[in-house]
Each structure stands twice: as structure tokens, then as C-alpha cells.
């Protein structure tokens, strides 16, 4: 039986209908599920996190390839289905709740089709974890932002933050027809491999704040967009103009700065602040 028929059958049996507000689009191509698993290079020592297991098709396949699967589902209706459908799998631990708020046991890899509407918070949450790798599906536009080139329209805060934390690979294009119900946009299978930062910043929080501030006015030159950051850093207003004029890249637009440039700019600002104190 095809996964599409299984999906419709389970939803009918349990009188459960996909909720658009929860981003419930179930992948119905088993070959794609197996492809995701292969990209994670699983072995029987791995503990895998699955965010949004849906009806448990990927969960069951994962359970055959690793030591344990931690499946986190926020929808109580789907949790009920999963408890019944996966009750024969001893190495699956089902956690009911929001993955960003729930207490999650230790895991070292992620293989998941998370709801598209929470892609960004889930991604930043995962980058704070001690991971070997994560294989996930993201909508096309979001995935392309992860690997955007400097100056392109897709290039932004997300690109810089991910570049600083992980290597990103867009592996396989996924048609929206591979889901039920079909979402509005096609997607990609993406692999993230955490890494050490490729450049050094003196204060990571200051770096993150600078990137956020400048990309709120991405088309302005640095000199015209950086004042809010300097004020928040505690630099006296009368000193700000003097500092701005001496900063590297002050005449470049934010969208034209490479990730390393943001790092160098952060370090130079912190250096000047220290001299003023």
C-alpha cells in the first residue's frame, strides 16, 4: 500500500484532519524518507531526534537504523495515533509537546520533516545543541537563504548566522506533490553539520546583535544603519559619529558585507569602546 493510501486511511480511521496552522503536511514518498536516513549515515549507536513525526512513517524506518528514536509531537491527536501505531517499537520514545519547550533527552543526530512555519526557531535551537549532524526538510526559499551568496536578495541574517555555526548542504529537491496535503512551495532536504566558527569574535552576543541590527536596514550603508547598535552597546552619543567615521566598511551596504566582515566590524567596535572607557 502506498504511503498516500496509508495516510488517508489513518486519518480517516482516527477521524483526524491535517491542521494548516500546525503546518501538517505528511511526506508520502517512502524513497525520500529512506534517502533522508541515508544522508544521516546512521548506526546502532545513534540516538536520533525526530521533530514532528506525524503519522510515524519516518519514525518506523529510523527505528530500524539506530539505537533510539526520540519523536516529539505537539499535536495531541497525532500523539494518540503514534502511541497506537508505534507501540511495537521498543526503541522509540514519544515526547508530547513543543520541542522548543519540552525536556528532550540527549540525542546526537536529527532526521526530521519539521513543520515549515517553525523552521527558523528550530534551526537556531538545534545549533545550540551538541550534534553530529541534522538532516531536515525546509521550504525552497528558506533553504536557499541558508546558502545564499553575499549581496544576493536571499542573503541575510540567517545566512550569516548559519555560516558561523554550521556547514550546510542542499541535497535533494522535493516536489510539493510528495506531501499530503500539498504545501504551497517545493522544498529541499538539507544537511547541517555543526562546526567551529570560521573566524574569531571577541563577544558572540555582540556579533549576533550587530548582524541583526544591520540586516534590519540591509540596503543602507553601515554608517547610516549602525547607530542603534552603538547606543545599545552603551557608547555615548557624542562619541558615536567619531567612531562611525573610523569603522571599517562604513561606506558599504550591509547586504554587501561577508560574514567575516561582520566579525571584523564587531571586534573593531569593541576595541574602540574599550579605549573610550
Kindly report, residue by residue over 111-127, the tens digit of the pLDDT: 999 999 999 999 999 99
- Residue-level pLDDT at 166: 97
The proportion of the chain whose per-residue pLDDT surpasses 70, expressed as a percent, equals 99
179 and 214 in one domain? no
Q: Is the pLDDT of residue 32 over 90?
A: yes
The phi-psi region of residue 79 (left if phi > 0; otherwise alpha if psi is between -120 and 50; otherwise beta) is: alpha
Residue 245 has pLDDT above 90, yes or no: no
33 shares its domain with 82: yes
User: Which residues does residue 191 pair with via DSSP β-bridges, in sequence order?
Assistant: 135, 169
**With 90 as the cut, is the pLDDT of residue 79 above it?**
yes
Q: Residue 60's Cα: distance from chain center in Å?
A: 24
Question: Dihedral angle at the C-alpha atoms of 178, 183, 187, 191, nearest 10 degrees?
Answer: -90
The mean pLDDT of 249-273, rounded to a whole number, is 96
Of 135, 161, 194, the residue that ends a domain is 194
Confidence class of residue 241 from pLDDT cuts 50, 70 and 90? confident
Pair 50, 72: CB distance under 8 Å? yes
Same domain, 164 and 249: no
Q: What is the pLDDT of residue 21?
A: 83
> Does 194 have pLDDT greater than 90?
yes
Which class for 211: exposed (0-12), middle (13-18), buried (19 or more C-beta within 10 A)? buried
Please say if the pLDDT value at position 193 is more than 80.
yes
In this prediction, residue 191 carries a pLDDT of 98
pLDDT above 90: percentage of residues in the chain = 90
> How far apart are alpha carbons 272 and 270 in whole angstroms?
5
| Alpha carbons 275 and 277: distance in angstroms, whole number | 6
What's residue 238's pLDDT?
A: 82
Number of domains in the chain: 2
Domain termination site, one of 194, 216, 239: 194
User: Which of residues 126, 159, 194 is at a domain's end?
Assistant: 194
Question: In the prediction, which pLDDT does 60 show?
Answer: 98
In a domain, 199, yes or no: no
Coil, helix or strand at residue 240: helix
Element (H, E) at 210: helix 204-215
pLDDT band for 15, please (50, 70, 90 cuts). Answer: very high
Backbone angles phi, psi at 72, to 5 degrees: -110, 120
**241 within domain boundaries:** yes
36 and 170 together in one domain: yes
CA 82 → CA 9, 13, 76, 160, 217, distances in Å?
Answer: 14, 13, 10, 38, 45
Domain containing 234 equals 204-276
**What is the spatial order of strands in the sheet that 187-194 belongs to?**
92-96, 68-73, 47-51, 109-112, 133-139, 187-194, 166-174
Judge if 72 and 93 occupy the same domain.
Answer: yes
pLDDT at 236 over 80: yes
The pLDDT of residue 22 is above 90: no
Instruction: Report residue 274's pLDDT band, with 50, 70 and 90 as the boundaries.
Output: confident
For residue 43, pLDDT over 80 is answered with yes
Helix (H, G, I), strand (E, B) or coil at 162: helix
Looking at residue 97, what is its pLDDT? 96
Amino acid at each position: 500500500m502506498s504511503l498516500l493510501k496509508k495516510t488517508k486511511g489513518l486519518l480517516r480511521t482516527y477521524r483526524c484532519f491535517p491542521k494548516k496552522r500546525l503546518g501538517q503536511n505528511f511526506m508520502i514518498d517512502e524513497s525520500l524518507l529512506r534517502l533522508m536516513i541515508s544522508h544521516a549515515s546512521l548506526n546502532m549507536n545513534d540516538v536520533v531526534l525526530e521533530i514532528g513525526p506525524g503519522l510515524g512513517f519516518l519514525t518506523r524506518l529510523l527505528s530500524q537504523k539506530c539505537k533510539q528514536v526520540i519523536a516529539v509531537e505537539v499535536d495531541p491527536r497525532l500523539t494518540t495515533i503514534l502511541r497506537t501505531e508505534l507501540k511495537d517499537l521498543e526503541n522509540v520514545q514519544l515526547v508530547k509537546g513543543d520541542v522548543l519547550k519540552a525536556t528532550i533527552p540527549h540525542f546526537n543526530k536529527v532526521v526530521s520533516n519539521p513543520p515549515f512555519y517553525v523552521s527558523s526557531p528550530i534551526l537556531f535551537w538545534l545549533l545550540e545543541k551538541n550534534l553530529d549532524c541534522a538532516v531536515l526538510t525546509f521550504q525552497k526559499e528558506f533553504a536557499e537563504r541558508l546558502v545564499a551568496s553575499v549581496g544576493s536578495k536571499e542573503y541575510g541574517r540567517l545566512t550569516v548566522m548559519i555560516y558561523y555555526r554550521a556547514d550546510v548542504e542542499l541535497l535533494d529537491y522535493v516536489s510539493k506533490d510528495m506531501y499530503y496535503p500539498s504545501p504551497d512551495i517545493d522544498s529541499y532536504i538539507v544537511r547541517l553539520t555543526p562546526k567551529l566558527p570560521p573566524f574569531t569574535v571577541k563577544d558572540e552576543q555582540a556579533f549576533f546583535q550587530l548582524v541583526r541590527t544591520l540586516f534590519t536596514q540591509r540596503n543602507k550603508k553601515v554608517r547610516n544603519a549602525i547607530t542603534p547598535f552603538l547606543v545599545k552597546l552603551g557608547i555615548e552619543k557624542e562619541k558615536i559619529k567619531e567612531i562611525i567615521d573610523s569603522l571599517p566598511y562604513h561606506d558599504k551596504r550591509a547586504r554587501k558585507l561577508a560574514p567575516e566582515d561582520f566579525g571584523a566590524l564587531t571586534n573593531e567596535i569593541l576595541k574602540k569602546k574599550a579605549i573610550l572607557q
